[in-house]
Amino acid sequence: MSVAYFGCVLATPNAFGLLEYKALTDLVNRVEADLSFTDIIETYNNGTHPYFKYLSSILALSDADGDSFCGAMMRILQRFENKYPQAVVSNIALPSASMPESTGERSTLRGRLPQELLERIMSFCSTYDLKVSRMNTDWQFWVCTSEGKKNAELYAFAAECVVFYIASKWRFSRWVVSVSYFDWPSTPATFFYHAFPNVRSVVFHGKSCRLRNFPVIGFPRILPPSIHSLRIIRCSLRGHSVEYLLSMCRNIRSVSLHSVYYGHVISPFARLSDTGDARSWLTMLGVFPTSPTGQFEYAPPSVRRLDLHFPDDPAPIRSTATDLRGTPPLLFQLFPEDPCASEQFYFLWDDKAFPVRLRSTVIDELEVRWTPHMAFVFPRVVRCTGNNLSTLSMFFPTTKHMRDTYTFCLREFDVLACLRVEVNARDVSHVLSSCSTWSSECRLQSGSVLAVVIYHATGPLLQTLDAIDVVAFSSVLCANKLNRQHSLHGRFQLSLRSPGMEADAGPDTLMQSPSEILRTPFQLFFLRLFVYGLSCYTILWYYTLRYLSMCTAYDTVIVALTPLLVALLPVPTENSSVARHAVDFLNSNLTVQMALPALSVWNLLCPSAETFVKLGDIPTWESSRTLPRRE
């Protein structure tokens, strides 16, 4: 069935609103419901999809009509911002300074800017490589009615149309390589599928509002084939799937899924008894061994890096792909069981693992956040990626109920060369005892890396260092039975971080300012050092003047007060509050390599402070330690 059978909605100047947007979305829904997946992909590629035909009709307008159409879209944006000011981050700031409300008056994008100045500004379009769409985190709270949600979708659509028109008018579409959505409402399709042909990275970033609603990536959005990297952070894919989203991305290299709800391919059957039914069901969902266009063989696996940070308390999900634990089905689909032992054969296509776009057979870099669900699925992860995984990063949340699950085995990772662990100080021994099973022969190479990031609790840093078990480090670094007598011959990196600086805290986390790092105890410590130096200077100056017979009564008074000042400043020791406050400035996001010079100076002042050298005798001016080869 041809798309022309369904009709079309085209852009006309000064004639767009909620009714026209509803007509366009209804047309898109009819086309997506009646056409097969192969036909839908074909409409995406040849530009006959109703959404892309509408965008193309914008470019077909004359200059005057195009400016008038863009003025109508700008008025839609302004009306939404005036009606829901709390839902937007800021007012739209585009070259248009004012848009006349009268439809009979010609709108202009030039506004009050002179044409020469605007041309000069747009001549630097080659540096505009990032497109960001952002709304307030709580926009779903302020726009909670059905009418408000439709207005929000219309607002997002109008903004995308304006961006499309501006990019085409000033010819910087080819420079855009990254598109990001921050708490952005869902639109009918991916507007940059043809508009920005060189996009390589896409980010969907959300944050739970006070209604505990996450931004939804609506069906049937499909990303263009040029995508190499995809990041989804705190979003919902209900009614959609990662597999469908990446169905055209044959060169995808990196996929990051952080706190993603749903995202799996939902099975409507408890068990498919006929293989033909399984094939038809998978084909309906865009999962099949040949490309949609039929021009290529089965697309080989391409994902090299996979990040899985699943939420600690996901919404209860029950389907044929889960067990009683409520483990997210996407984890099972990413890391399936052995086909011979699996009863859910409809997740497999011949000898290919399912999903086909996210097959884990060639993944060489994996990053996981340890949750009860990941602890349950981790044996599957080992079996699916053990032969190829070279880099593994594991993040352990600071929750008490998780300590019992910190038991895993890394012995089956044959080529694992880099291991990174982020853990709370009180759980270091539990995690490192399991990490001691890292027995790959790559440990014997100089390029191997063991990186341990410790989040210390609030309070003096020395108490955190005293609580760390040094034996746990030796079990990972040195040769023993657990690691098959393979000692680490590469680098060992140790970092100390304060709470709240986790790697997955997101871009909203703000770094501490220098005024926050230089706290009063830190300033007091250096003040006392200054007084010590002043005392030594006055004594030296006194005896010099006395030797030269130039001592006065004023100098005698100063020297007399010097012992009193020294008496008021007790000598710092390891257990004194001065020594503890002196290193409290390290509870900012500073690593050991940055702290070691300061600690070395403090050891000169306080030789009894042995706590600083308990962590492996790391060289003073180096951040990493190259261990000697043990024969």
Over residues 444-459, the pLDDT tens digits come to 888 899 998 888 766 6
DSSP 153: H
pLDDT of residue 472 exceeding 80: no
Instruction: Give Cα separations from 26 to 8, 23, 212, 229, 451 (angstroms).
Output: 11, 5, 28, 31, 53
DSSP 606: -
Q: Range of 607's domain?
A: 517-617
Q: Of 475, 477, 490, 478, which is closest to residue 391 (Cα–Cα)? A: 490
Is 337 part of any domain? no
What is the distance between the terminal CA atoms of the chain, rounded to a whole angstrom?
Answer: 72
Least confident of 113-117, 203-207, 391-395, 554-558: 554-558
pLDDT at res. 39: 82
d(CA 68, CA 144): 31
Is 21 part of any domain? yes
**Mean pLDDT, range 238-249, rounded to an integer:** 83
For residues 358 and 334, the answer to whether their CB atoms sit within 8 Å is: yes
Question: Which pLDDT band, with edges at 50, 70 and 90, does 267 fall under?
Answer: low
pLDDT at res. 256: 93
Last residue of a domain, one of 54, 87, 122: 122
Q: Dihedrals φ, ψ of 451, to 5°?
A: -115, 125
CA angle 304, 308, 310 (to 5 degrees): 165
**Mean pLDDT, range 143-158, rounded to an integer:** 84
Q: Of 108, 148, 138, 112, which is closest to residue 13 (Cα–Cα)? A: 108
Helix axes 18-34, 37-46, angle to 10 degrees: 130
Question: Which pLDDT band, with edges at 50, 70 and 90, does 384 fall under?
Answer: confident
Is 157 part of any domain? no
d(CA 332, CA 330): 5
More confident residue, 597 or 61: 61
**Mean pLDDT, range 126-132, rounded to an integer:** 71
Is 540 part of any domain? yes
pLDDT at res. 76: 86
More confident residue, 196 or 168: 196
Query: Chain-centre distance of CA 567, in angstroms?
Result: 54
More confident residue, 17 or 165: 165
Residue identified by tokens 């050298």 is 613
Is 395 part of any domain? no
> Is the model's pTM score more than 0.75?
no
pLDDT at res. 280: 65
Q: Of 183, 244, 239, which is closest to residue 44 (Cα–Cα)? A: 244
**Mean pLDDT, range 133-162, rounded to an integer:** 82
Last residue of a domain, one of 122, 155, 177: 122
Question: Could you read off the pLDDT of 249-261 as tens digits, one per residue?
Answer: 888 999 999 888 8
Q: Of 320, 312, 371, which is closest to residue 342 (Cα–Cα)? A: 320
**Mean pLDDT, range 64-87, rounded to an integer:** 83
More confident residue, 318 or 218: 218
Is 295 part of any domain? no
pLDDT at res. 420: 94
Helix (H, G, I), strand (E, B) or coil at 367: strand
Is 239 part of any domain? no
Least confident of 55-69, 172-186, 380-394, 580-594: 580-594
Share of the chain above pLDDT 70, in %: 56
DSSP one-letter string for 192-236 = HHHHSTT--EEEEE----TT----B--TT----TT--EEEEES-E
Last residue of a domain, one of 67, 91, 122: 122
- Count of domains for the chain: 2
pLDDT of residue 631 exceeding 60: no
Is 182 part of any domain? no
pLDDT at res. 589: 32
Q: Which amino acid is at 579?
A: A
Question: Which pLDDT band, with edges at 50, 70 and 90, does 628 fall under?
Answer: very low
**Mean pLDDT, range 74-98, rounded to an integer:** 68
**Mean pLDDT, range 399-421, rounded to an integer:** 81
pLDDT of residue 500 exceeding 60: no
Peptide bond just before 224 cis, omega within 30 deg: no
